[in-house]
Chain A
Amino acid sequence: MPPSYRAINYGVRPAKAVERKMMGEAFRRLHPFQRIEEYRYVGFGSIYFADFQLVHCALGVEDMVSIEKDEEAEECFRFNKPYRSIDLRFGQSNRVLPELDWSKRTILWLDYDGKLDIPGLADIDTFCSRCTSGSMIIVSVNAQAESELTEEERKKIESETGEKFDASAHRLRQLVGLIGEKVPPGTQGADLRGKGVANIFRRVIQNQIEEQLIVRNSLLMPSEKFLYRQIFNFLYKDGAQMLTVGGMIFKVADQPLFEACAFDRLPFVKTGEHPYNIRVPCLTPREIRHLNSQLPCNDWKQLQAPGVPASDLEKFSEVYRYFPSFTEAPLS
């Protein structure tokens, strides 16, 4: 199988691009803690480094670490590294994260290709037990429900389990295979259909963060104890269903700083279990220009563009500020 970055050009996944820009806007609000330029950004840049372009160009962050698991293609990554100050670290994030210096405020984006699994939860552990107050953690995972199995696959599972095939039991077994005993109590196979997987993954991530903070807090004075506040809960599809959750970790004493960030003023910020669905309508450049000229406006129903369905107008009004502009153009 080719590596995922060859199968998909990350730069042109529109929903992902919108999500990235939205997060960039949230990062800007971190200034009550310190100047955003002085944050460190840790991410998985792949060969496109789209998130690094954002944090460096738009926010001025200079201290950047990109973790790359594909050690064999080191040269390729070095060649594609867009800025000198990106520190490229090769190896699984499980290995690299414990080796980083965590005394600096950090924005960590664990942008996994695959589903949530035990090594992913171990990365969360590392961050939560080490990060300083005012740091941010974001986790993206594939949350696609298991697809329908073919007759042949069902037969195979029946022979493995010695029981009649049961789709619910099968889904639950898959989940246990990924995250073992971290499956939330009461989870049923029926909870793992459609967007249910994302909801379960969000709970598991939240539980993991809280579990680690309880351990970390157990020997700390009340004002030194750490809190987690969720800020992001995005659902989007550029193909498979993806989930991005994340938030801030800060000391009780720093709560006023967190309040001063006023993340809740951002329309896409979601602090609870209900996600923000990123929906990107398919529009021509001409339609986009035409609609932009009518925005901002208080009521999307006022928007007009010949032949564009109302549902797309609504979607566009939500995301137009973050709308990606893809075009074919010679760059040389």
Chain B
Amino acid sequence: MADDTQHDPKRINAAPTKEFFIYMLTRDVQLSRAILDLVDNSVDGAQRLRGGGRYDGLWVRVEVSRDFFKVSDNCGGIPVERAREHAFRFGRPKEAKDTPGSVGLFGVGMKRTFFKLGRFFSVNSRCKTEAFTLSVDVDDWINAETNDGPDDWHFKFTTVDESLPEVPEEETGTIIEVTKLLSSVADSFHLESFQQQLVKELSAAHAVSVDRGLAITVNQLPLEHLPQKLFVSNELKPAYVEKIYPRQQIDGKEGEPVRVKLYAGIAERSYHDGGWYVFCNGRLILKADKTSVTTWGDPNGMRQYHADLAFFRGFAYFDSLHSVLLPWTTTKTGVDSDSPLYKVVQREMIELTKPVLTFLTELARQRDADNEGDWSDKRLETALATAQATRTEQITAQNLFTAPKPQPRPPGPKMQKIQYSKTMEEIEIAKARLNVKSLKEVGEKTFEYYMEYEGGE
């Protein structure tokens, strides 16, 4: 390359450097997110093995410590051909075969994680009839030169064998290890709070896979099981719609469509957990979103998220065999809000959300009226209290959000509560004189007494 530049005076060198690549790749991904990317590869392995079926018997083990990082799985291993041609390339080559319904898609995740964590990594893969090992010292790789100049971008298998006697599925898998950890990474890995955060993020991100039976652990601790639930009763039903968007309309090509399931409704009150959850091929990419990226605020003609709305939950599941059609960003930490598909679905999300917010606003109003001592329609509160938290996949009837509408306030004067404090001694005297038992009666009788003598015209 360098020679060519010298020979052709018109040629300008625009080739990237490895240092730049490492710097750029790693700077916009959070540490815990980088680890999630590796687990995504394992989940894709499980998807290749089982298709749409259950993942029982499959596991992914993540270990983090001050000295090393390791993720191992029994999810089928990485085929040699795949490793040789695609898996370690920077970016997904055009001819690379998709894992149908995969969550790893941009061809950056695995390398980015290695570089983010440390300066030495090894990959050990066993498929049914083939296996390979690979060890890379990153500093050596940066300095590696080829015969025709600097910048050899290749890795080299340490061992590779493509014709081994067949082993059963449960003996296949991948072990990835990173050592020579960067010091800030080693410090984080040592923190229990980091390990806890990792468990939480993995639990949320892979809730759907865990639900399908995949056993994921972090330092031997299993993930929390977090199925998505909404309140359901005869009176209170979440909105649920299913949409199919033909591939032809998304990128003009033939192929399987994108399937979208949307749920919007009510769940346990939690300011923190309220909002929208967006999944692509089962991977959570947006958690409890309270911004205009989903349905909130002026840009969408909606109210801002607010404490009264903390009962709200929305779940959007995008699924496709062609993961590139889905509206996710390369870090899988958000939706690509410029995607036409996402914009169309976002409109649906907004329309489904509106009736839920109206119900919650009315609920808050009834509560206020009740607190002030005025009449309130208790049916809204009852509907909430009697509903059962139900997992989204058990909600199958498509319909709009249903909830009781408040009755108009019956005619009659508007009532208001009065509150004040008096010494217990005085209250006891009043109780005795009025011949009543409760404090409420003391208040009412003394007020009535005043009104009788002083409240006239």
Residues on A facing B (Cβ under 8 Å): 71-72, 74, 90-92, 94-95, 98-99, 118-119, 121-122, 125-126, 129-130, 180-181, 212, 215-216, 218-221
Asked, given contacts A71-B408, A121-B301, A129-B351, whether A216 binds B358 with beta carbons under 8 Å apart, the answer is no
Indicate with 1 or 0, residue by residue over B249-287, a CB within 8 angstroms of chain A CB atoms.
Answer: 110000000000000000000000000000000000000
Whether the Cβ atoms of A95 and B245 lie closer than 8 Å is: no
Q: Which residues of A contact B409 (CB under 8 A)?
A: 72
Q: Which residues of B contact A220 (CB under 8 A)?
A: 249
- Selected A-B contacts with CB under 8 Å, 10 pairs: A72-B408, A98-B352, A121-B301, A125-B350, A129-B351, A130-B351, A218-B340, A218-B344, A219-B249, A221-B249
Residue B343 CB within 8 A of the other chain: yes
Q: What separation, in Å, do the CA atoms of A121 and B341 have in the docked complex?
A: 22
Indicate with 1 or 0, residue by residue over B342-375, a CB within 8 angstroms of chain A CB atoms.
Answer: 0110111011101100100000000000000000
Chain B: minimal CB distance from A173 (Å): 15
Q: Which residues of A contact B351 (CB under 8 A)?
A: 98, 126, 129-130
> Which residue of the partner chain B has the closest CB to A90?
B405
Chain B: minimal CB distance from A249 (Å): 15
Q: What separation, in Å, do the CA atoms of A92 and B365 have in the docked complex?
A: 15
Chain A: minimal CB distance from B260 (Å): 11
Q: Indicate which residue in B301, B344, B352 contacts A216 across the interface (CB closer than 8 Å).
A: B344
Q: Which of B306-358 contact A (CB under 8 A)?
A: 340-341, 343-344, 346-348, 350-352, 354-355, 358
Q: Which residues of A contact B298 (CB under 8 A)?
A: 118, 180-181
Q: Which residues of A contact B406 (CB under 8 A)?
A: 71
The listed residue with most B CB atoms (<10 A of its CB), out of A74, A91, A218, is: A218
Whether the Cβ atoms of B354 and A219 lie closer than 8 Å is: no
Asked, given contacts A72-B409, A129-B347, whether A95 binds B355 with beta carbons under 8 Å apart, the answer is yes
Q: Which residues of B contact A74 (CB under 8 A)?
A: 408
The listed residue with most A CB atoms (<10 A of its CB), out of B302, B343, B351, is: B351
Q: What separation, in Å, do the CA atoms of A115 and B277 have in the docked complex?
A: 35
Q: What separation, in Å, do the CA atoms of A297 and B405 have in the docked complex?
A: 56
Q: Which residues of A contact B29 (CB under 8 A)?
A: none
Residue B25 CB within 8 A of the other chain: no
Q: Which residues of A contact B358 (CB under 8 A)?
A: 91-92, 94-95
> Which residue of the partner chain B has the closest CB to A220?
B249
Chain A: minimal CB distance from B241 (Å): 12
* CB-CB nearest 7 A-B residue pairs: A122-B301, A218-B340, A95-B358, A219-B249, A180-B298, A129-B347, A215-B343
Whether the Cβ atoms of B355 and A98 lie closer than 8 Å is: yes
> Which residue of the partner chain A has the closest CB to B239?
A98
Q: Which residues of A contact B350 (CB under 8 A)?
A: 125
Whether the Cβ atoms of A219 and B341 lie closer than 8 Å is: yes
Q: What separation, in Å, do the CA atoms of A18 and B448 have in the docked complex?
A: 58
Q: What separation, in Å, do the CA atoms of A94 and B358 have in the docked complex?
A: 9
Whether the Cβ atoms of B347 and A215 lie closer than 8 Å is: yes
Whether the Cβ atoms of B355 and A219 lie closer than 8 Å is: no
Q: What separation, in Å, do the CA atoms of A119 and B354 have in the docked complex?
A: 11
Chain B: minimal CB distance from A252 (Å): 15
Q: Which residues of B contact A91 (CB under 8 A)?
A: 358, 405
Chain B interface main SS type: helix
Q: What separation, in Å, do the CA atoms of A203 and B409 have in the docked complex?
A: 40
Q: What separation, in Å, do the CA atoms of A98 and B402 have in the docked complex?
A: 12
Residue B299 CB within 8 A of the other chain: yes
> Which residue of the partner chain B has the closest CB to A182?
B298
Residue B288 CB within 8 A of the other chain: no
9 more A-B contacts (CB under 8 A) besides A98-B351, A130-B351? A95-B355, A95-B358, A98-B400, A99-B355, A122-B300, A180-B299, A219-B249, A219-B340, A221-B249
Q: Which residues of B contact A98 (CB under 8 A)?
A: 351-352, 354-355, 400
Whether the Cβ atoms of A95 and B344 lie closer than 8 Å is: no
Chain A: minimal CB distance from B40 (Å): 27
Q: What separation, in Å, do the CA atoms of A219 and B346 have in the docked complex?
A: 13
Chain B: minimal CB distance from A55 (Å): 26
Q: Which residues of A contact B346 (CB under 8 A)?
A: 215
Q: Which residues of A contact B343 (CB under 8 A)?
A: 215, 218
Q: Which residues of B contact A121 (CB under 8 A)?
A: 301
Whether the Cβ atoms of A95 and B408 lie closer than 8 Å is: no
Chain B: minimal CB distance from A19 (Å): 26
Q: What separation, in Å, do the CA atoms of A72 and B375 have in the docked complex?
A: 13
Q: Which residues of A contact B249 (CB under 8 A)?
A: 219-221
Asked, given contacts A99-B400, A181-B298, A219-B340, whether A212 binds B355 with beta carbons under 8 Å apart, the answer is no
Q: Which residues of A contact B344 (CB under 8 A)?
A: 215-216, 218-219
Whether the Cβ atoms of B354 and A94 lie closer than 8 Å is: yes
Q: Which residues of A contact B347 (CB under 8 A)?
A: 125, 129, 212, 215-216
Chain B: minimal CB distance from A122 (Å): 3
Q: Indicate which residue in A72, A94, A129, A181 contacts B299 across the interface (CB closer than 8 Å).
A: A181
> Which residue of the partner chain A has the closest CB to B249?
A219
> Which residue of the partner chain B has the closest CB to A125?
B301
> Which residue of the partner chain B has the closest CB to A180?
B298
Chain A: minimal CB distance from B360 (Å): 11
Chain B: minimal CB distance from A204 (Å): 12
Chain A: minimal CB distance from B348 (Å): 8
Q: Which residues of B contact A126 (CB under 8 A)?
A: 351, 354
Whether the Cβ atoms of B250 and A219 lie closer than 8 Å is: yes
Q: What separation, in Å, do the CA atoms of A122 and B249 have in the docked complex?
A: 26
Chain B: minimal CB distance from A209 (Å): 13
Q: What separation, in Å, do the CA atoms of A220 and B347 have in the docked complex?
A: 15
Q: What separation, in Å, do the CA atoms of A219 and B341 have in the docked complex?
A: 7
Chain B: minimal CB distance from A215 (Å): 5
Asked, given contacts A216-B344, A218-B340, A219-B249, whether A95 binds B354 with beta carbons under 8 Å apart, the answer is yes
Q: Which residues of B contact A92 (CB under 8 A)?
A: 358
Chain A: minimal CB distance from B53 (Å): 30
Q: What separation, in Å, do the CA atoms of A92 and B406 have in the docked complex?
A: 13
Q: Which residues of A contact B405 (CB under 8 A)?
A: 90-91
Q: Which of B220-261 contact A (CB under 8 A)?
A: 245, 249-250
Q: Which residues of A contact B245 (CB under 8 A)?
A: 219
> Which residue of the partner chain B has the closest CB to A101?
B400
Chain A: minimal CB distance from B235 (Å): 16
Q: What separation, in Å, do the CA atoms of A72 and B409 have in the docked complex?
A: 7
Whether the Cβ atoms of A122 and B302 lie closer than 8 Å is: yes
Q: What separation, in Å, do the CA atoms of A90 and B408 have in the docked complex?
A: 10
Q: Which residues of A contact B300 (CB under 8 A)?
A: 122, 125
Q: What separation, in Å, do the CA atoms of A99 and B400 have in the docked complex?
A: 7
Q: What separation, in Å, do the CA atoms of A94 and B408 have in the docked complex?
A: 19
Indicate with 1 or 0, residue by residue over B67-83, a CB within 8 angstroms of chain A CB atoms.
Answer: 00000000000000000
Q: What separation, in Å, do the CA atoms of A71 and B300 have in the docked complex?
A: 26
Q: Which residues of B contact A221 (CB under 8 A)?
A: 249
Q: Which residues of B contact A118 (CB under 8 A)?
A: 298, 301
Chain B: minimal CB distance from A69 (Å): 12
Chain A: minimal CB distance from B158 (Å): 48
Chain A: minimal CB distance from B17 (Å): 38
> Which residue of the partner chain A has the closest CB to B344?
A219
> Which residue of the partner chain B has the closest CB to A123?
B301
